[in-house]
Homo-oligomer: A and B are copies of this chain.
Amino acid sequence: MGSPTLVASQSSHAVVKISSLKVACKSCNLRELCLPIGLDQADMEQLEGIIRRRRALKKGQMLYRTGDPLRSIYAVRRGSFKTTGAMEDGRVHVTGFFLAGELLGFDAINADRHPCEAEALETSDVCEIPYDRLENLAQEVPGLQRQLLKVMSREIVRDQQLLVLLGRMSGEERLASCLLSFSRRQVRLGLSATDLNLAMSRQDLAYYLGLAIETVSRLFSRFHEEGLIDVQARAVRLLDIGRLHTVAGVDATGPNRPK
């Protein structure tokens, strides 16, 4: 698709610190899912001016840890992350999975510290958006402030849907909803609606869904027996999305059906 993006080297040295590379949102295929939505060319360039491309993280590396001071908000450019909250006795709960195009770190704005930790589930890289500069720029660029507020609101909605999932759904409803959520997010990325490659372990999934790992494993087996999915370890193919919707307790004809 056209000519490759050319980035001018900022020094004569051959090796450029990746973490200081400017990002070109305007040529990023995720721009319609990420923070720049609705920004015009000039505003987008301003946003690019404050964003840095951070080094890639390998599987298991931490993007931030509980208690770290808020420095940046992060956009996933490639790969995926989990965020984990811990209780004082050591029990943990996975509060979210973040795929390409999704933003994380907003929970740190409240107290200027990250209240949870974020870990790469696979080789990933992120765009780093220094928060103080983001705040300043949002003050000047109305479209950016607007988008920032919308993205944070979306995070609130997402969390509230998870509250319903954990508070009122059965195990099978939880897993079916979760698989359908991954499917939808892959579609947004232009990927298959049916072929998932789960980057997280069964244990992570169990922590996320509020279930024991054995329960999650049994549910995968049952869904397989019932012809809902194919499972080959972490490769999952959704064979009957309509019936998965039924299992999830959601009418497949669409969300927000009026009472």
Contacts and interface: CB of A to CB of B under 8 A. Distances in A.
Interface of A: 66-67, 85-89, 91-93, 95, 106-111, 115-116, 135, 138-139, 142, 145-146, 148-150, 152-157, 159-164, 166-169, 207-210, 249-251, 255-259
Contact of A207 (B148, B167, B251): B167
A106 B207 CA distance: 27
A171 to B, nearest CB: 12
Copies in the complex: 2
5 contacts: A85-B164, A87-B168, A109-B153, A163-B163, A168-B207
Given A115-B160, A138-B145, A160-B95, A167 B88 contact: no
Given A89-B249, A93-B163, A152-B152, A157 B110 contact: yes
Contacts of A257: 88
Contact of A167 (B66, B89, B108, B166): B166
Interface centre among A108, A163, A250 (most CB of B within 10 A): A163
A153 B93 contact: no
A110 B168 contact: no
Contacts of A91: 168, 249
Given A87-B250, A91-B249, 15 more contacts: A66-B256, A88-B250, A88-B251, A89-B249, A106-B156, A107-B156, A109-B149, A110-B150, A110-B154, A110-B156, A110-B157, A111-B157, A139-B139, A152-B156, A168-B210
